[in-house]
Amino acid sequence: MTPPRQSDLRDNPETDLPAAVLLCLVVLRQRADYLRAAQGRKAGTGGFLLQARARGDTDPSARVGFTASKKIGNAVFRNRAKRRLRALAREVLAPEARAGWDYVLVAKPNATVSRDYGLLQADLRSAIALVHKDRI
C-alpha cells in the first residue's frame, strides 16, 4: 500500500489526520544516499545511531533510511530491529523531521531489539535535538 501524498491530504479540508500522517517520510533507496548521510552529523544513543544531513535541494520532503547489518544477528533479529526503527520513525521522527534532510537509523547489536521501546523513543528525541543543534 502506498502512503497518501501530502498534496492529496492538504487539498481535502475534511481530512482529520494527525500531523504525523500529514508528513509522509520518503524511504531512502539508493546506496549513494546512505553514504552521503554517513558523512553528515551523527548522534549515538543507547539503542541505535542516528545519521543526518541537510540535502540542500528544493525537495521539501524528509527522507529516512534504516540499516541493520549482520552484526545484529540472524534475519529474524535484523527484521525485528528494522520494524522497531520504522515504528520509531513514524511516531517520533515524522513530526520532528526537518524538510530537506536525510535521516538514517542504524541498529546496534544487542540493543535495538532488546531495549525498552519507551527508551528508544526518548533516545530518538534526544538524537534529533543533538543533530539539529547549531554547530560553531
Q: What share of the chain is helix, strand, coil (3-state, %, to 5)?
A: 40, 20, 40
Domains in the chain, CATH or no CATH each? 6-132 (3.30.230.10)
The half-sphere exposure of 35 on its side-chain side, counting CA atoms within 13 A, is 3
Return the pLDDT at 20: 44
pTM of the predicted model, to two decimals?
Answer: 0.81
Return the pLDDT at 6: 53
Task: Say if residues 71 and 81 touch (Cβ distance below 8 Å).
Answer: no
Return the pLDDT at 68: 97
Return the pLDDT at 2: 57
Return the pLDDT at 49: 97
Return the pLDDT at 21: 46
Q: What are the average pLDDT values for consecutive 10-residue runs of the chain, which has 136 residues?
A: 54 49 77 96 96 91 95 96 96 92 96 96 96 78
Return the pLDDT at 16: 54
Instruction: Give the CA diameter of the chain.
Output: 47
* DSSP character string of 35-81: HHHHTSEEEE-SSEEEEEEE--SS----EEEEE--TTS-SHHHHHHH
Nearest Cα neighbor of 40 from 52, 30, 31 is 52
The C-alpha atoms of residue 129 and residue 96 are separated, in whole angstroms, by 9
